Amino acid sequence: MTKTIEEFKKLVDAEEYFKFFELDYDPKLVNVNRLHILKKFSQFMSEIDSNPDLNTEERLNQYSLALQQAYETFLESSPQQQKLFKVFKDKPKNVITLTELNSD
């Protein structure tokens, strides 16, 4: 069965995207990192969407690869390391981290 962009646009949950693209995933990893995976996927999609020459099949294939790549990012990395959301980018005020302490 041929998949369409219209079907893709109706997807809401992370699990729906994995099922749509028939990708294996660990539900526990997705539960813990769902927003981060979807945010990374969204960033990759923006790059893909900047290429107007892709037909539907090529675009959906690229989306599938992008979702797999976003998922794999969090197999090897953490949300804190990726810093996709503002809360991870902003340095807390009035806090000194251990890495900032120097021993003289």
Task: Give the sign of the dihedral formed by CA 78, CA 24, CA 28, CA 34.
Answer: positive
Query: Which pLDDT value is given to residue 87?
Result: 47
pTM above 0.85, yes or no: no
| Residue ranges of domains in the chain | 5-100
Is 101 exposed, middle or buried (CB count within 10 Å of its CB: 0-12, 13-18, 19+)? exposed
> What digits encode the pLDDT tens for the residues 31-78?
988 888 998 999 999 999 999 999 999 999 999 999 999 999 887 765
Return the pLDDT at 30.
92
Backbone dihedral angles phi then psi of residue 96, each to the nearest 5 degrees = -110, 125
pLDDT digits (tens, 9 = 90+) for 67-97: 999 999 887 765 555 555 454 455 556 666 6
Predicted pLDDT at 92: 57
